[in-house]
Structure 1
Amino acid sequence: MDTTTILKEEALTNYVLHKANTRGHANHGWLESYHTFSFANYHNPERMNFGVLRVLNDDRVNQGMGFGKHPHDNMEIISIPLEGDLEHQDSMGNVTVIKKGDIQVMSAGTGIFHSEYNKNKDQEVKFLQIWVYPNKKNVTPRYDQITLDLNDRHNKLQQILSPNPEDEGVWIHQDAWFHLGKFDNGFSTSYPLKKAGNGIYAFVLKGDFTISNISLNERDGLGIWDTNTISITANTPDAEILLMEVPMAL
């Protein structure tokens, strides 16, 4: 076995591939949810988290339905709408609607209650619900949402989240950076990780990709660690991807 082969095999040990059809699945009629990591009645000891990334739920909510008031604490909660309009209310007094192009974040901290409903009676709402463990406990709860220019992710990675309130996107209490990209067929780019020791989790929203020589299809997830950069190539038109750089140590 030559050195090139050895290095290639060693590099491939530092990743985890979650194919779309291996995710947890719950269908409550009004709600259909796919769980990349253990959540609610889906428990897989090999899928508890990826570093501080604890929850990645791919949710569809029927017309006019939603989640009643429920509590959270000591978690950074990010919602990314994909289709439709999601109405949010919380114990901090926020009453808002988020839609595609918006990013919502809550630092649950010492504790909040909130509810989420499909605002429309004539169409579904689809969104990603993401939970990240914070690096500070019992912070004062806060809420934020922003509207992004979808054109700013065409053939580039648009930053949507960081640890810095002065940076692009929303911010959270964690050394994490999220990016969204929408690429033409054959477009290639790279992502250099921003902090040593972090890992990166890629989630394909639409189409097919190759990331660091690993093939991914729609709704596949790929986590890579012990790396400084990853290469990304879109293999279908209008391919969309979410990148989540997170600390690997809890």
Structure 2
Amino acid sequence: MKTIIHKAESRGFANHGWLQANHSFSFASYHNSEKVHFGALRVFNDDIIAPKMGFGTHPHDNMEIITIPLKGVLKHKDNMGDAWIAVLPNEVQVMSAGTGVQHSEINGSADEHLSLFQIWIFPDKQNVEPRYDQKKFEASDRKNKLQTLVTSIDENHESSLKIHQDAIISRIDLDSNTDFEYKLKSRNHGVYMMTINGKVLIDNSVLETRDAAGISETEAFSIIAEQDSSLLFIEVPMDF
């Protein structure tokens, strides 16, 4: 098993005043030649956005973009006909940029900061028709068990959102002193695991809040929760 540890404090950081951004991989003005991507996972940003602020209309193409609000309210608008849709914690948003899309995202609250993860995954199909979707996932459904959020559009998995890549995004909330085994889809896949909060042990490495691990070249790995912990898994092809 190959394990890469990314401690929270090792991430790139940008303070834009209205935006506090942590970058797990090279992004914008942050560049680290050892942190460009993890397999098909290109971007993992951990953002805090001030009230009423956000990203004005801007373009994307040929990228699968997944947004997971953790606190506050995200509002999304795009040129596909979606006008200021609210996305709340326990909801997930996906957008296949494909041939090109223009969108805006802002903090929909006048007084509360917005905390979210934004994830970019390289697609396995180029120039697809752009699409948008979002869905609510009940927190109770990930209590000590894996909750699947996102899968490939080619997979017959009815309860998940879809993207154009053989990837799986999932969450779990583990009680303290609970063991869990994560099984990968294949040995050609790797998993980038973020500790949203808590403290866990993987392969003799301790991961605390916002620490991450990239795990590959294995069929499965074990996790021990030393505290109540919330985890996010992004499983992607490593040789995409």
Q: In which range does the TM-score fall when normalised by the shorter chain? A: over 0.9
Candidates 60, 80, 92, aligned match of 2:48: 60
Matched, 1:15 2:3: yes
CA distance in 2, matches of 1:145, 1:165: 18
SS in 1 for 2:59: strand
* TM-superposition CA deviations, 1:155-198 (whole Å, max 9, x none): 11111111126433211111111110111101111111113310
Percent identical residues: 46
Structure 1 counterpart SS, 2:9: helix
> Judging changes above 3 Å, is the alpha-carbon distance between structure 1 residues 165 and 126 closer, same or farther for their aligned structure 2 residues?
farther
Corresponding residue of 2:98:
109
Q: What does residue 8 of structure 1 align with?
A: none
Q: Which runs of 5+ in 2 are unaligned?
A: none
SS of the aligned residue for 1:134 comes to coil
- In structure 2, what is the equivalent of residue 242 of structure 1? 232
Residue type of the alignment partner of 2:216 = W
Mapped to 2, the partners of 1:106 and 1:165 lie a distance apart of 19
- TM-score norm. by structure 2 comes to 0.96
The answer for the alignment partner of 2:22 in structure 1 is: 34
> Could you tell me whether the CA contact under 8 Å between 2:12 and 2:22 is conserved in 1?
yes
Question: How far apart, CA to CA, are the structure 2 residues paired with 1:195 and 1:160?
Answer: 19
SS in 1 for 2:109: coil
1:155 match: secondary structure: coil
| Offset at residue 57 of structure 1 (A) | 0.1
Q: Deviations over 1:211-230 (max 9, x none)?
A: 23321111011001100001
Aligned to 2:107: 118
Q: 1:214 aligned to 205, 215, 231, which one?
A: 205
Which residue of structure 2 lines up, in the alignment, with residue 78 of structure 1? 66
Name the TM-score, length of structure 1 as normaliser. 0.93
Quote the Cα distance in structure 1 between the aligned partners of 2:170 and 2:222: 14
Superposition RMSD on alpha carbons, in Å?
1.0
Asked if 1:45 is matched to 2:36, the reply is no
**Alignment-derived partner of residue 184 in structure 2:** 193
Contact 2:79/2:103 (<8 A) preserved: yes
Q: Would you say the 8 A contact 2:27–2:43 is kept in 1?
A: yes
Partner of 1:148 in structure 2? 137
Distance in 1 between residues matched to 2:115 and 2:226, nearest whole Å: 24
Cα deviation 1:86-145 (Å, max 9, x = unaligned): 000001011211010101000000000101000110100000000000000000000000
- SS for the counterpart of 2:141 is helix
